[in-house]
Amino acid sequence: MEETVQFTLNGKSTRLTVDTDRMLLWVLRTDLGLTGTKYGCGESVCGACTILVNNEAVRSCQTTVKSVQGKEVLTIEGLASDGALHPLQKAFAEHDALQCGYCTPGMIMNACALLRRTPRPSLPQIITAMEDNLCRCGAHSRILPAVQAAAKEMQGAI
Ligand code: FES
Ligand code: FES
């Protein structure tokens, strides 16, 4: 059923009249043109569609639009600020933490949620947090140091 929902999307108040049982992934990509959030499995298995809702990582392929009513939604498009890449985006580039890049937005958003709840994660904490985001190119060995480097930069350590 079509209803109006209101939420904050990448810092801007957003009102949409849509079938609120639709999954947010498709509203972001199809209705709003925010194609940085990727479709991988559609079953909450791969993490390609990860975004933040109220600072927590969620899988947008299994998140209904109505469930984000009144909440803060952050996608990869909202991460850079004032034209400056987020430390995670910089670190992924500097550590060559991708090959095809398809998993990268979901990886970065998942890591973003980790660093918001645990600003100084240990390597085991990073491994645990990132292990359910899949990379078909096998870039995990470069993704982990990228997350470590971003955490250090965000602490002012580098
Ligand atoms: S597309 Fe959502 S978890 Fe794979
Ligand atoms: S870089 Fe290709 S899927 Fe991860």
Instruction: Tell how far the Cα of 156 is from the centroid of ligand 1, in angstroms.
Output: 33
Nearest CA to ligand 2 atom 2: 100
Instruction: Tell how far the Cα of 157 is from the centroid of ligand 1, in angstroms.
Output: 34
Contacts of residue 8, Cβ cutoff 8 Å, sequence gap at least 6: 14, 71, 72, 73
Give per-residue pLDDT as tens, 66-90.
999 999 999 999 999 888 999 999 9
Q: What is the pTM of this model?
A: 0.97
Instruction: Check if 36 has its Cβ closer than 6 Å to any atom of ligand 1.
Output: no
Residue 157 has pLDDT above 90, yes or no: no
